[in-house]
Amino acid sequence: MADTYLAMASCSSRLNGYRTGTPESFAFDKGDYCTNRQNLPPKCVNLLKICIGTMERMGQASKLGCSKCNQEYPSEQLRNLCDCGAPLLVHYDLHGIRSTWKRNHLKSAVNSMWRYAPVLPADAADAVTLSEGWTPLIRADALGAEIGARNVWIKDEGRNPTDSFKARGLCCAVTMARKLGAKKLAIPSAGNAAGALAAYAAAAGLEAHIFMPQDVPEANFLECGAFGADVRLIDGLISDCGRIVAERKAAEGWFEVSTLKEPYRIEGKKTMGYEVAEQFDWEVPDAILYPCGGGVGLIGMWKAFAELEELGWIGTKRPKMISVQATGCAPITRAFENDAEASEFWKGAHTVASGLRVPKALGDFLVLRAVRESKGIAVSVSDEEMLDAGLLMSEKQGIFPAPEGGACVAAVKKLLANGFLKPDDRTVIFNTGSGYKYLEAYRTRFPRQIASEEDKLGGLITPR
């Protein structure tokens, strides 16, 4: 719904800029109706109540709730975690939203994730947006023929701003951080989340303080600098970066937007689930393969399907949620195989898929819960397998995926081979980013001789 709401009235008056007629539309701005409603004629009041009922459900979280102990907090409060240390989840008055928001309203909705504003924590008018979301869902028949799948689809998140799915979560997190009064944001990141925070913080006029491993892909380092962020490269893993942010944030006045250490990145990521359901005309697929580092997207989509059922938009069917990791960093796969409720820290984590190099995810128990409740599975693939599969997707579909997307293709092949997936299952592969952000990883397959960085620069963009 837009900034100005329209309704029909059969009256004649003019109140503080509200224009009414007989019969014609009157307009009222959000925030103004409370002081002026008592002056409206009775017929206008009745119509206004209808519109206000809708307005009050636009982008309004009802509360925050702990994912472990169920402690509740006000949604207007800027918080990181529950007092018990567990992630917080956003709750909505879905019964009330259901009475005013219908599926057919989406026919005229904006082509971004803000088409789902009634189940997001901020109004679309307050969003710090770069037109994220509403990415294509592409039937991949040529790829499917190569891997033995007759009904495989690619959800291409590389089309998002900053070329990755991280745009969704950071859009929502930055929007809410600004709305609730934060001025300085900090994040540890394996790469793409850093780029997304830098972009959205720039758009919001907020400071961004970013800590990344020193071997982060070059594209991530450069984009953060281009967006004006304060970037620190750390000799270590994302877990080491996270420790530094945690140690310094109080003294520096930073609000931390790490994975699951604030409640709103999940809300942005859950829109992937809303989109998949809508793009399949409200029939969920049989399986979703998702590359899991922190696992926010998988958690968010599982939340989305529960919300959609409560709204009455889908039935009880759920896709098998399949977590895909790298063999060099597979804490969730190991926990799944060991029937554990949470993972253990993965020592010596290594993989070319920087987004999967997360030794211990804060929300691992939520990922494992979703996988098990959906009768899904957690699998791992090697770096070689994911790069091979990424190039296969490129050759057959014209989509140059992040290695994480390639990992999902490789996982489909494995699961078809062992019978967990059937060839006719409607299967969705999430390509979470563009391969253009992982050129170092793919360079191993296409070596070229360059005398120096100066020669490379001169040969590409200037005369030698």
Q: What's the pLDDT tens digit per position in 72-117?
A: 999 988 999 999 999 999 999 999 999 999 999 999 999 999 999 9
- Quick one: average pLDDT of 147-176? 98
Instruction: Please give the Cα distance from 334 to 357 (Å, whole number).
Output: 14
Domain 166-256, CATH class in plain words: alpha beta
pLDDT in tens, 252-302: 999 999 999 999 999 999 999 999 999 999 999 999 999 999 999 999 999
- Quick one: average pLDDT of 317-343? 98
Per-residue confidence band for 190, with pLDDT thresholds at 50, 70 and 90: confident
Beta-sheet strand order (sheet of 207-213):
230-234, 207-213, 184-188, 255-256
- Report pLDDT for 449: 77
- Report pLDDT for 461: 53
- Quick one: average pLDDT of 54-77? 81
Q: 166-256: same fold as 137-162+269-443?
A: yes
Does the pLDDT of residue 48 top 60, yes or no? no
Domain 137-162+269-443, CATH class in plain words: alpha beta
User: What per-residue string of b and e applies to 238-270 under the rule 16 or more CB within 10 Å gives b?
Assistant: bbebbeebeeebeeeebbbbbbbbbbbbbbbbb
Amino acid 183 reads: K
Q: Which two tokens stand for residue 206?
A: 């907020």
Per-residue confidence band for 61, with pLDDT thresholds at 50, 70 and 90: confident
- Report pLDDT for 59: 61
- Report pLDDT for 38: 43
Write the DSSP assignment of 247-275 as a string of letters. Answer: HHHHHHTPEE--TTSSSSHHHHHHHHHHH
Does the pLDDT of residue 15 top 60, yes or no? no
Burial (CB count <10 Å: 0-12, 13-18, 19+), residue 163: buried
- Quick one: average pLDDT of 24-48? 40
Percent of all residues in the chain with a pLDDT value above 70, rounded to a whole number: 84
| Residue 458: partners with Cβ closer than 8 Å, 6 or more residues away | 464
pLDDT in tens, 194-235: 999 999 999 999 999 999 999 999 999 999 999 999 999 999
Q: Are strands 230-234 and 207-213 parallel, antiparallel or unpaired?
A: parallel
What are the structural domain ranges in the chain? 4-55, 63-126, 137-162+269-443, 166-256
CA 133 to chain centre: 9
| Residue 316: partners with Cβ closer than 8 Å, 6 or more residues away | 309
Q: Does residue 245 contact residue 80 with C-beta atoms inside 8 Å?
A: no
Average pLDDT over the chain reads 88
Does the pLDDT of residue 193 top 90, yes or no? yes
User: Cis ω on the peptide bond leading into residue 23 (within 30° of 0)?
Assistant: yes
- Report pLDDT for 130: 98
Does the pLDDT of residue 317 top 80, yes or no? yes
- Report pLDDT for 231: 96
Percent of all residues in the chain with a pLDDT value above 90, rounded to a whole number: 81
